[in-house]
Structure 1
């Protein structure tokens, strides 16, 4: 490689590093949305009010495994880690390698596991880490736009993965997400959060 090529490569690396430092997690999130728009529910992370309201019904004292689909840059990760027991685990699953790499680099907690994979494989994933089931599974995945009929598959696999008494927590911009949950959860509580970009529907499907 010539000296001019090396100089050009070095300059590009510096620009990339400066851009990443300037935009921080928002830049990572935006990049993830551009690369996989049908897999990322929003171009902007959820509001703190959405986080608080979604997690409010969780029985943290009896939670040993909390699973999240599509964690993005970890908007919900730290709030969950702040609430779970010292011996509990937060396991997140995402198909976006950039998000997983970012989370592994930024979250230093022995209770945290980040997996590059599909939510459709949730049962195999949690079993590979020695768990028989999850207590709660949370998702912000855009069910209505997921490719290859993934929405119904993920909903069915999630219902199998959750213990009796646990719940599937879902927030979406379209109320249609409830249609994917209804065949598997007899009781579905619902809510709405206006102070979010965009305003979103909230669902809690309880496994009897």
Structure 2
């Protein structure tokens, strides 16, 4: 019974994502939700026992949100950003203990309103390639301000368009290809400091 509900939920997510993509492909960025392989690679750098605050940008149907909910410890504070009202309201109903915000361009102010000054981890599903240069710069600049000096920023894109910008903005950046995603995705793992880098 639980498995059937899970399969049904996945189907609903895919149809919702498809509907949103055709209505606004610029903001959604993909025709299907992220795969389990991509989710695993995105959350691989997170030291769950050591973090107290995690921020997710561009949650969509909540593939990463669900994994964050399953992995975090009880005292970890979670803030989720999703611009689309329908998808954000749906996630808020599923994860009522999380804080939800709308616009990642207002990242710093929104987190400040929640009493969050620094984040240990920032996970992003934002389609930066579809954004204006101004919006990209504003969001990345705020990410650097919000991110704890020992923290990690992880994002994925479907191209290497963001490579140069992220290399210039972060002291350390590593890229991982996830071929078992549709389409194949590049995961960028970015840090403000190089001294803490181990395997990710």
Say whether 1:113 aligns with 2:93.
Answer: no
The residue that corresponds to 2:108 in the other structure is: 123
Q: 1:82 aligns with which of 58, 61, 70?
A: 70
Secondary structure, aligned partner of 1:71: coil
Say whether 1:31 aligns with 2:22.
Answer: no
Tell me, yes or no, if the aligned pair for 1:41 and 1:172 is still in contact at 8 Å.
Answer: no
Say whether 1:141 aligns with 2:126.
Answer: yes
Kindly state the Cα deviation for residue 34 of structure 1 after the two structures are TM-superposed.
2.1
For each residue in 1:158-200, what CA deviation from the matched residue of structure 2 results, as whole angstroms up to 9, or x when unmatched?
1111001101101110111223322321100111000000001
Tell me, yes or no, if the aligned pair for 1:152 and 1:180 is still in contact at 8 Å.
Answer: no
Tell me, yes or no, if the aligned pair for 2:124 and 2:155 is still in contact at 8 Å.
Answer: yes
The residue that corresponds to 2:3 in the other structure is: none
Q: TM-score, normalised by structure 2?
A: 0.86
Kindly state the Cα deviation for residue 151 of structure 1 after the two structures are TM-superposed.
1.1
Pick closer, same or farther for the CA change 1:22–1:71 going to 2, 3 Å: closer
Kindly state the Cα deviation for residue 148 of structure 1 after the two structures are TM-superposed.
6.2
Secondary structure, aligned partner of 1:68: strand
For each residue in 1:111-149, what CA deviation from the matched residue of structure 2 results, as whole angstroms up to 9, or x when unmatched?
x1222x221211111111111111111112111211362
Q: Which runs of 5+ in 2 are unaligned?
A: 1-8, 194-200
Say whether 1:132 aligns with 2:117.
Answer: yes
Kindly state the Cα deviation for residue 105 of structure 1 after the two structures are TM-superposed.
2.2
Say whether 1:67 aligns with 2:55.
Answer: yes
For each residue in 1:25-74, what CA deviation from the matched residue of structure 2 results, as whole angstroms up to 9, or x when unmatched?
22221222123211112110111011111111111122111111110010
Q: TM-score, normalised by structure 1?
A: 0.83
Q: Which has the larger radius of gyration?
A: 1
Pick closer, same or farther for the CA change 1:158–1:22 going to 2, 3 Å: closer
Residues in 2 aligned to 1:91 and 1:179: alpha-carbon distance in whole angstroms: 28
The residue that corresponds to 1:162 in the other structure is: 147
Q: Which runs of 5+ in 1 are unaligned?
A: 1-20
Secondary structure, aligned partner of 2:49: helix
Say whether 1:47 aligns with 2:27.
Answer: no
